[in-house]
Structure 1
């Protein structure tokens, strides 16, 4: 049976106040709300509930998240642009093709800084006069280019919007160091709202069980369910689904096991491969990396191929994400 959200009334009210301030003030710069919490605590559900209750209704809602597999630059914006008509945007078609991750993108790509500026212009064009809500789901799983874009949007001029960012803690991120910096940048925006969702209390678990079973279960059973699920709303939902149609006493049984991924093996890289990897993290093309390092494009191509093989990556972006996740913070790439 459907269960209403429990234990998040304060956070919902705070999000509603943030939106009301944006809608009333006609401000030109975004307001920022950052929501963090472990997997399954209800970040996405909270955002969805807030959006449903916003009044007045947002003129525009732009929502995106990282892809589960094979992350690529500007995943968030590509998700926003998917299926959306961009014909009215006065922007270079080749840049839009890159940002939308279209299969027929030009061979020559923009310099990272230039593409970032175009990405901000794309969002500004989609928002128009606003007011809008920009939803960034799973910041922890985003690629470095998307993290840069979200940070730029938080302080962009002429962008009347509420920017709502949901993320797991930086320690769980694909790129922990970059995510720490991105979260710090977002939370440092003047007036930013900061929320952290923890597990449900035993009393809140009892409230959920009462909704499902029609009467308040015994304290002993509530406490057992609370301990078994850790108060995690997703784990609680899964436990209830697994015993749907059975009596409340069935919740005493079997805890689902959640496998943890194995840590990747250590990888030995040459000094030159490390330099090329730094260039990939910076978003450079092979030609830009060759110019920065003073070597040929062919040599860079060979090193990139070796990096993909050694790190088990299927793309340049995966290799860059591997670098920031499994190695010490990379050095700044050479100026070129």
Structure 2
């Protein structure tokens, strides 16, 4: 028998989360973001789960080509653009859109002859300060792209730093939108602004001064996988978990007052208690730095992590689980236990837990709510 740790991917929940995104932005086309191996869910599953999206967005050229080999015929967008001029003919051959965020990429396009024109997304840096042209340089970059015979359509895009917090004291959406208007006003082309936070907060945003956020394209990522970029819980937005990580109890220990558990003896029992050993550790992608009391579900009963997470195992408090035994089912995140809640208790974010799932973890598919 294989080790009992396994992840279940819920394609039905992925479908539903995409429907939810579309309901937030009914006038927009959707780039479903499938970077990082579809946030740990698998590229092929991401394609199937978001088959109704208008396009798929990711980072790696080789994964864009894999999507084509898997049968995806709708648009694909490279969110970081090309890394080398040798990538450009592939864009034309396979009809792949590329982000353009720096002069070096424009120069590559200027010096490459293409037998078929490509579409690009010109990125403006409105305060995220990672990629993109500042507003004052945006028009010049646009003009250079427009002069390249091999460039067809130019979409204007930016990326919000704090879309989960509408009035962030250092950089609000209002300020980023103002900067975008400054740089893009009067330029022809579709617009692409909103990430997951922008999509989820459309109701609040459209009620104020952010009407252009209901734009031509949106780029939801984490929300499609049942997480949020911060703030409210995913369930508050009607989002469903798309990955459930489960294991089993493989050992039980009875502790007396003063006994400790695991490496470093970080946890000490106040009195008699039962501890269960779960087949999951940091080599599987569970965070080693998870704090005491990080929630876990055993046989449907909510309990907590105790002791330090080790490479292959972790220990949980079985005292509240009356009939716990070797073989008892354990839910580490997902169906019944929101991944964002686990991540917050572990001092990280749901994105990291999804993406960190190790290759040795068995992955299958199943409907949400069905073991």
TM-score interval, normalised by the smaller of the two chains: under 0.3
Higher relative contact order (CA 8 A, sep 6+): 1
Give the TM-score normalised by the residue count of structure 1: 0.28
In proportion to residue count, which structure has more strand?
2
* Larger helix fraction of residues: 1
